[in-house]
C-alpha cells in the first residue's frame, strides 16, 4: 500500500489528551466545580455584598444607628407629595407631621402647628413654615374633617390642603425618600443605618459562634473517634444528653438563666459590652458544637483505618500529630460545609431570640430586635418590619446557596464531574 494514501500526524498531535490535560490540585478542582454552580456563585457574591453592607456601609452613611432625629419620626421610604405651589411641595406623615419636600424627595423642613392654630370644631389645622430667622414663609390649612364628616368621608381621603385659597385633595406624585432611604423608626432613627448595624451584629454573632463551635466540635469529635472504646462511649453519651433537649429550647432556657445574672453583668458585659451580645454568643457556643462533633467523629472513625494512619502509628507519631496532620485535613471538606451551614442557623437563632426579647437589647440592635420593634407598628408602618425581615431572609438564602454549592464541590464522589 503506497504511503501517499496515509495522512501522517505532526508530533504535537500525537500526544495523548490525558497527557496534555493540565493537572489540578484538590482546591483548584473544588473551585472549578463551584464556579459551575450558578446558585453557589450568586450566594458567594451575595455574602460578599452583605459583608460590605455591614462593614463599609456605616462608614459611608452619614447617619448613625443610635442618633435620633425627633422631627422626622416614622417617615416611610416612599413619600406622597402634594404640589401646592411652583416651589412648595409638602408631605404628611402618618403622625400628621407636615414637611416641605423637594421635587426629588428630599425632606427640607418641618411645619409647626401651634395650639392656637388647631380648630377642634371644624378640624382645620394651620401649619406654618418658618425660616431660620423665625419669619413665616408659608401657611397651609389642613382639613381633617374628611375623617369624621359623613358626607366628606365618602371621598375616601384623610385630609386636604388649602394654600392661597386653592384646595388640594389628591397627591401629585410618589417619590422615594432621598433623605432617609429606608425611612425612620418611632424615635426618628435612620432605618438604613440601623439595618447596617444590625446586620453587622448578626454577622459577628454568627461568625464568632461558628468559628468557636468549629474548634470545639472538631477537637471533641476527632478525639472521640480516634481514641474510641470507653472514651468514645463516654464522650458520645454526653453529646446524647445535650441532644436529648431540643436545642432551641435549651438556648431559650440558658438565655433566661444568664440574662441580668452576675456572670453577664460582671464578665460578659465587660468583654462584649452591654446589650446581651456576649450572652447570646456564649449560648450559641454551648450548644451548636454537638452537630460538628458528631460529623467529625464519623469521619474520624472511617479515616483512622486508612493505611497512612497505620503507617504513622508504626513510625511512632503521637496521637495528637495524627489527628492534626492526617485526620482533620482529610475531613476538611465536610467540616467546611457544616460550618457554612452553621452560620445561617446562628443568624436565624439570634434573630428569633432577639425578636422574642431574649437576645440583643438596647443600646445595641440586631435584625431580630429591629423586626421586633417593627412588629409593634406592622399595620401602621409595615416597612419597619418588612425591611429587616427581607434582610434576614436574604442572608439566610445567600449562606444556604453557598453552603449547598460547597457541599457539592467538596464531595469527593463528584471530583470527575
| Count of C-beta atoms within a 10 Å radius of residue 341 | 18
pLDDT digits (tens, 9 = 90+) for 340-350: 888 888 888 88
When pLDDT is cut at 50, 70 and 90, the band that residue 83 belongs to is very high
Of the listed ranges 86-100, 119-133, 271-285, the least confidently predicted one is 271-285
Cα–Cα distance between 369 and 385 in angstroms, integer? 10
Which among 258, 275, 246 has a CA at the least distance from the CA of 349? 246
Cα–Cα distance between 304 and 41 in angstroms, integer? 34
Cα–Cα distance between 353 and 368 in angstroms, integer? 7
Q: Which residue has the higher pLDDT, 410 or 55?
A: 55
- pTM for this predicted structure: 0.84
Which among 387, 371, 362, 376 has a CA at the least distance from the CA of 183? 387
Q: Decide the pairing of beta strands 98-101 and 88-92.
A: antiparallel
In this prediction, residue 364 carries a pLDDT of 80
Residue 144 has pLDDT above 50, yes or no: yes
Cα–Cα distance between 409 and 407 in angstroms, integer? 6
In this prediction, residue 409 carries a pLDDT of 84
Of the listed ranges 86-95, 108-117, 245-254, 287-296, the least confidently predicted one is 245-254
User: H helices within 111-167, ranges in order?
Assistant: 150-153
Cα–Cα distance between 187 and 71 in angstroms, integer? 9
Cα–Cα distance between 190 and 366 in angstroms, integer? 14
Residue 9 has pLDDT above 90, yes or no: no
Query: Are residues 296 and 331 in contact, defined by beta-carbon separation less than 8 angstroms?
Result: yes
| pLDDT, mean over the chain | 85
Cα–Cα distance between 197 and 199 in angstroms, integer? 5
Residues 328-341: what's their mean pLDDT?
Answer: 84
| Count of C-beta atoms within a 10 Å radius of residue 201 | 25
Per-residue b or e along 77-92, where b marks 16 or more CB atoms closer than 10 Å to that residue's CB: bebebbbbeeebbbbb
Which among 213, 192, 223 has a CA at the least distance from the CA of 323? 223
- Give the 3-state secondary structure of residue 216: helix
In this prediction, residue 417 carries a pLDDT of 46
Q: Which residue in this structure is represented by grid cell 473551585?
A: 31
Residue 306 has pLDDT above 60, yes or no: yes
In this prediction, residue 124 carries a pLDDT of 92
C-alpha cell at 232: 468514645
Residues 351-366: what's their mean pLDDT?
Answer: 82
Give all domains of the chain, ordered by start, each with its CATH number. Answer: 78-176 (no CATH), 191-414 (1.10.3720.10)
Q: What percent of the chain is predicted at pLDDT more than 90? A: 33
Phi and psi at residue 186, in whole multiples of 5°?
-60, -30
In this prediction, residue 391 carries a pLDDT of 94
In this prediction, residue 196 carries a pLDDT of 94
Kindly write down the DSSP assignment for every residue of 75-121, as one continuous string.
--SEEEEEEEETTEEEEE-TT--EEEE-TTS-EEEE-B--GGGEETT
In this prediction, residue 155 carries a pLDDT of 83
Please state whether the peptide bond connecting residue 259 to the residue before it is cis, i.e. omega within 30 degrees of 0. no
Query: Are residues 372 and 10 in contact, defined by beta-carbon separation less than 8 angstroms?
Result: no
Residues 82-88: what's their mean pLDDT?
Answer: 90
User: H helices within 315-331, ranges in order?
Assistant: 319-322, 328-330
Contact partners, residue 294, CB within 8 Å, separation at least 6: 221, 239
Residue 111 has pLDDT above 50, yes or no: yes
Of the listed ranges 136-140, 151-155, 188-192, 265-269, the least confidently predicted one is 265-269
Amino acid at each position: 500500500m503506497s504511503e501517499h494514501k496515509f495522512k501522517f500526524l505532526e508530533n504535537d498531535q500525537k500526544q495523548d489528551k490525558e497527557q496534555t490535560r493540565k493537572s489540578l490540585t484538590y482546591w483548584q478542582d473544588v473551585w472549578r466545580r463551584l464556579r459551575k454552580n450558578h446558585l453557589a456563585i450568586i450566594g458567594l457574591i451575595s455574602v460578599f455584598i452583605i459583608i460590605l453592607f455591614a462593614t463599609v456601609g456605616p462608614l459611608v452613611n452619614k447617619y448613625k444607628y443610635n442618633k435620633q432625629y425627633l422631627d422626622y419620626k416614622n417617615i416611610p421610604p416612599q413619600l406622597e407629595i402634594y404640589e401646592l405651589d411652583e416651589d412648595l411641595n409638602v408631605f404628611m406623615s402618618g403622625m400628621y407631621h407636615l414637611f416641605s419636600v423637594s421635587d426629588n424627595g428630599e425632606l427640607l423642613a418641618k411645619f409647626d402647628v401651634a395650639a392656637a392654630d388647631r380648630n377642634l370644631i371644624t378640624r382645620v389645622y394651620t401649619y406654618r413654615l418658618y425660616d431660620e430667622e423665625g419669619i413665616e414663609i408659608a401657611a397651609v390649612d389642613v382639613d381633617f374633617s374628611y375623617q369624621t364628616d359623613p358626607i366628606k368621608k365618602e371621598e375616601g381621603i384623610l385630609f386636604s390642603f388649602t394654600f392661597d385659597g386653592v384646595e388640594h385633595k389628591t397627591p401629585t406624585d410618589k417619590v422615594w425618600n432621598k433623605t432617609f432611604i429606608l425611612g425612620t423608626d418611632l424615635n426618628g432613627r435612620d432605618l438604613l443605618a440601623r439595618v447596617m448595624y444590625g446586620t453587622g451584629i448578626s454577622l459577628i454573632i454568627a461568625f464568632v459562634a461558628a468559628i468557636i463551635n468549629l474548634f470545639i466540635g472538631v477537637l471533641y469529635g476527632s478525639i472521640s473517634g480516634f481514641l474510641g472504646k470507653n472514651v468514645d462511649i463516654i464522650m458520645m453519651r454526653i453529646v446524647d444528653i445535650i441532644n436529648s433537649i431540643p436545642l432551641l429550647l435549651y438556648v431559650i432556657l440558658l438565655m433566661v438563666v444568664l440574662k441580668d445574672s452576675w456572670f453577664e453583668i460582671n464578665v460578659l458585659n465587660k468583654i462584649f459590652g452591654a446589650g446581651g451580645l456576649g450572652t447570646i454568643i456564649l449560648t450559641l457556643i454551648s450548644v451548636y458544637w454537638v452537630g460538628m462533633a458528631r460529623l467529625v467523629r464519623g469521619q474520624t472513625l472511617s479515616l483512622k483505618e486508612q493505611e497512612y494512619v497505620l503507617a504513622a502509628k508504626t513510625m511512632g507519631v503521637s496521637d495528637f500529630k495524627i489527628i492534626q496532620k492526617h485526620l482533620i485535613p482529610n475531613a476538611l471538606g465536610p467540616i467546611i460545609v457544616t460550618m457554612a451551614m452553621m452560620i445561617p442557623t446562628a443568624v436565624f437563632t439570634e434573630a428569633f431570640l432577639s425578636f422574642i426579647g431574649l437576645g440583643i437589647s438596647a443600646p445595641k440592635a440586631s435584625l431580630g430586635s429591629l423586626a421586633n420593634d417593627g412588629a409593634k407598628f406592622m399595620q401602621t408602618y409595615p416597612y419597619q418590619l418588612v425591611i429587616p425581615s427581607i434582610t434576614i431572609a436574604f442572608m439566610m438564602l445567600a449562606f444556604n446557596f453557598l453552603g449547598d454549592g460547597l457541599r457539592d464541590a467538596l464531595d469527593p464522589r463528584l471530583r470527575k464531574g
